[in-house]
Amino acid sequence: MRSSAIAARLVGDEMMVMSTADSTFFTLSEIATLIWQAADGHTPLSEIVRRKICSEFEVAPEEALRDAEQFVADLSDHGILRVSTHPIREHTTDTA
């Protein structure tokens, strides 16, 4: 799931992302942008890779998943993506 502590803008086919926590700036490739946009906190990375990457690019599923896991780990290290083994649910406060 994308962190709320970022600034992001799509420029052409690439996403520009900056962490407000450490001012780290990333320019995401077209493939990384597809992963970024699909990171909803509910869809497993393996499914994102299968549906978004392998269906649009000629790449072996194992290689695509390995690269995607490294990409996600890098962004997670900077607080740009939140990673979980279970779907992430945002905490909401019920005022009713």
For the chain, how many residues are written?
Answer: 96
Measured between alpha carbons, how far is 93 from 80 in angstroms, rounded to an integer?
A: 24
- CB atoms closer than 10 angstroms to residue 46: 13
**What is the reported pTM?**
0.74
Q: Is 94 helix (H, G, I), strand (E, B) or coil?
A: coil
Would you state the pLDDT for residue 26? 86
For the stretch 19-30, pLDDT in tens is 877 788 889 888
Q: For 84, phi and psi rounded to 5 degrees?
A: -150, 155
Q: Is 8 helix (H, G, I), strand (E, B) or coil?
A: strand
Residues of the chain with pLDDT under 50: 91-96
Structural domains in the chain, CATH included, are: 6-77 (1.10.10)
Nearest-10 crossing angle of helices 61-77, 30-38:
70
Measured between alpha carbons, how far is 21 from 13 in angstroms, rounded to an integer?
A: 25
